[in-house]
Each structure stands twice: as C-alpha cells, then as structure tokens.
Structure 1
Amino acid sequence: MRYIIDVIIEYIKKNIGLYIILLLILVIGILSGSLTVNLLSSLQKEELTKYLSMFFVNINNMDLDSTNIFYSSLSNNLKILLIIFLSGLLIFGFPIVFIIIFLRGFMLGFTTGYFISEFGTKGVLLSIFAIVPQNILIITGILSIGVTTLYFDFSVLKSKRKYYRESYGNLIVGYIFSFLFFSLFLLFASLIEGYISPFLIRIIANYIL
C-alpha cells in the first residue's frame, strides 16, 4: 500500500504543471456553475425548490435500488472515460479533456451553489454528505486521467522528433496502464454513490424537512 502511495505522489510531482492547469480549469468551472445559480429566474428557482422538497418528503418511502444507482453511475463514468481515452488516442483530441473537466466543475459548482443558496446551513450539510464524498474520488480520478491523457499526447508528439528515443509502443502501454489505474477512483465513486449516498441523503432529508 505504501508503495502505491509513493508511486502516486511521484507521479503527481512529475506532472505537477499539468495538474495545476487542469485544476485551474476545474476551479473556473466550479465558479461558473456557482455564479450561474444567481442567473436563475425566481420561477426557475421556485420550480427546482418545489421538486427537491417533494423529493425529500417522499425519499423515505422511495425504493432506492442501490444496485441500479451504482450501475447507472458506473455507466455514466465509463462513457466519460471512453471519451477521454479515445480523445487521447486521437492526439489532437486532448482539448476534450479541458471541456469535460470544466463541465464536471460546472455541475459541481451549480449543484452545491444551489443547495447552499436555497437551504442555507442545511444545504451545506446536504452538499458535504451527499455530493462531496463521491466527487472527491471522481475529481481525483478525472484530473489524473486528464493528466495521463495530456502527458501521452505530448509524449507522442515529442516521439516524432529524432532525438526522442521512447517508442510509441511503450507510450501506449504506459497510457493504458495509468488510465486503468486511475479509473479505479471512478469505480469506487460509483460504489459510494450507489450504496452510501442514498443512505446519507435519507438522513439529511429528515433534518432539512
């Protein structure tokens, strides 16, 4: 376990510049999403609040199938992973990584911003217990996968130069291995979203009502 942690830390240090760039894009997305909440009309906010209130009222009576939630979350994450993976293989498709990370930040910023805006302290608790746990893993995974994709693309472009000795075969093997490893973060995030988050939401819903 210690070896894996050391490898991850070394990987982050080696690619710290790419991590900073993608982290900035994520932060811009989060800020954009949270600011967008203020652009909603009173009617839009009222409709969203009404929907959420009804959801919280009925959640204890709902049959939330954790397995279905897990598979749905995993399916969505796998689609994102496939898009990023293919964009990496296309070499010049790496801007898609920027778009995906921005959108992930935007959704996170909008959701948490709306909860806090409408429910105050209760919205903070809802965000912490129902949104943050899986998103810590999702963001960590997507950032690392994004860095892996960018590193692969830049390395392939460098390999076309005569003085760069690393072969394309070695690059793609490293790309696939790193991609699969960081994809585990999204798998664990889906497990949390399917089997833990519904339980936490039920608890917080009783407090919000």
Structure 2
Amino acid sequence: MLRPFRYALKDQTPLYVFVSVLFLMGVVFGALMVNALTFEQQQDLSRYLGNFFMSVNEGGADFYPLTLWEVALLHLKWLGLIWILGLSVIGLPGILILDFLKGVLIGFTVGCLVGQFTWKGLLFAMVSVAPHNLLIIPVLLIGSVAAIGFSLNIIRNRVLMNRSGSAARPFLTYTALTLVLAVVMLGASSFETWVTPVMMGWVTPMMQ
C-alpha cells in the first residue's frame, strides 16, 4: 500500500531537487523585489504594517479575520490547481510557474518585514510565516513533483505512443497522494488559523 508513496518520495529525487531549487529562486527573487520598491511604496508599506501591528496589539477586528474554511480553501485551491495542471501535458509549465510564484510571495513577505523592522521583522516572520509554511511548502512541492511525474507519464504513454500498461493505476495513485496531501494541508490551515495568531500576539508588542 505504501509503495506508491515511497516511489513519489524517493525515486523522483531529481524532480524534487529541480522543484526545490525553482522555489528557492522564487524566494530570492521575491526578497530582491523589496529593494525595487519606490520610496513612496515603501512609505505606504510601512504605514500599512504599522496599522496592522497596532490592530494586532490592541486585539482589533482587523487582526486575522480569516476563518479556518477560508484559509483552508485558499491553500486547497493552490493544491487543486497543481493537481489539475498535472492531468495534461500543456499544464506542466503552469506547475513550475506556481512553485516559483509561491516562493516569490514568501520571499517578498519576509523581505518586507526584514526591510522595515530588521531583526524584529525576522522574528515576526518566524512566528507568522514560517510555522505553517513548514508543512504547506513540502505539501506543495510533493504535489508538484507528483503532478510533473504524472504529466511525464502521459508524454511517455501517449505522445511517444508507448501504450503498455493501464493509465488508471497511475491516475489513482496520483489522486490518492493528492488527497493525502490535502488532509495535511487542512492540518496546516488549522495551525495557521488558531495557533499562528496567538504567536503573532506574543511578538507584536516588540514591533511598535
């Protein structure tokens, strides 16, 4: 029963390396984008962060308004889009773009915090961005590798006219893995909804 998952996690090491490097490139690119902001944009960003930290510190209604379902839906849509793109050959570039964009979003967020608040911003990023993403990022990378592997399997079996074997078993394995990853994503969303705001509340007084 665990053999398909061992295959996804072990035998596709080159794909994992490639996807991980692509994600890290996105993180670096996102962090560098902070330096490209104009002075006015940096001022607006500073005011926005200041108002946000004030709301968090005072327990304002603007502090983390998303519910568990909203957070989970956001992450599951990302995972679901990767699954859909993996069902076709033309979706392969889209998977890589999504991984890069995820890195850009995280890199830009952390870069903004560090750029505005130096080590305090890094500390806030460690409690607000890092914890749940320690689960979310591996889930997305595993899902991406599975999607790329399934897409490459389509190329081998259909485009290259190698029709040996049934397509049903790879599809079921691919879908089953995605469902397992969705369950893990729900756990990460629960942490982001209920635990992360508490941790943010601990650090926010230092930001003002």
TM-score between the two structures when normalised by the length of structure 2:
0.90
What do the CA deviations read for 1:74-106 (whole angstroms, capped 9, x no partner)? 111122122212111123211111111111000
Does residue 48 (structure 1) correspond to residue 45 (structure 2)? The answer is: yes
Q: Distance in 2 between matches of 1:110 and 1:27?
A: 12
Does residue 106 (structure 1) correspond to residue 109 (structure 2)? The answer is: no
Provide the residue aligned with 2:122 in structure 1. 124
Q: Distance in 2 between matches of 1:7 and 1:159?
A: 19
1:66: how far off? Answer: 7.2
Q: Which moved more, 1:76-85 or 1:132-141?
A: 76-85
Q: Which moved more, 1:6-15 or 1:198-207?
A: 6-15
1:149: how far off? Answer: 0.3
Does residue 57 (structure 1) correspond to residue 54 (structure 2)? The answer is: yes
Q: Which moved more, 1:80-89 or 1:140-149?
A: 80-89
The size of the alignment, in residue pairs, is 206
Q: Which moved more, 1:31-40 or 1:152-161?
A: 152-161
Q: Distance in 1 between matches of 2:117 and 2:41?
A: 16
Is 1:66–1:195's contact at 8 Å kept on the other side of the alignment?
no
1:185: how far off? Answer: 2.8
Q: Distance in 2 between matches of 1:173 and 1:65?
A: 41
Amino acid aligned to 1:154 = L
Amino acid aligned to 2:190 = L
Q: Distance in 2 between matches of 1:34 and 1:131?
A: 14
Is 1:117–1:123's contact at 8 Å kept on the other side of the alignment?
yes
Provide the residue aligned with 2:26 in structure 1. 29
SS in structure 2 opposite 1:165? coil
Is 1:145–1:183's contact at 8 Å kept on the other side of the alignment?
no
SS in structure 2 opposite 1:194? helix
Is 1:31–1:106's contact at 8 Å kept on the other side of the alignment?
yes
Provide the residue aligned with 1:138 in structure 2. 136
Does residue 151 (structure 1) correspond to residue 149 (structure 2)? The answer is: yes
Provide the residue aligned with 1:200 in structure 2. 199
Is 2:55–2:62's contact at 8 Å kept on the other side of the alignment?
no
What do the CA deviations read for 1:150-190 (whole angstroms, capped 9, x no partner)? 11111122223566633111111111011111222321221
Is 1:37–1:114's contact at 8 Å kept on the other side of the alignment?
yes
Gaps of 5+ in 2: none
RMSD between aligned alpha carbons? 2.2
What do the CA deviations read for 1:131-157 (whole angstroms, capped 9, x no partner)? 001111111010000000011111122
Is 1:69–1:193's contact at 8 Å kept on the other side of the alignment?
no
Provide the residue aligned with 2:190 in structure 1. 191
SS in structure 1 opposite 2:201? helix
SS in structure 2 opposite 1:167? coil
Q: Distance in 2 between matches of 1:32 and 1:68?
A: 28
Distance 1:204 1:7, change over 3 A: farther
Gaps of 5+ in 1: none
Is 2:8–2:146's contact at 8 Å kept on the other side of the alignment?
no
What do the CA deviations read for 1:53-82 (whole angstroms, capped 9, x no partner)? 111112232247879432211111122122
Distance 1:9 1:176, change over 3 A: closer
Q: Distance in 2 between matches of 1:139 and 1:199?
A: 22
State the identity as a percent: 25
Is 2:15–2:145's contact at 8 Å kept on the other side of the alignment?
yes
TM-score between the two structures when normalised by the length of structure 1:
0.90
Amino acid aligned to 2:51 = M
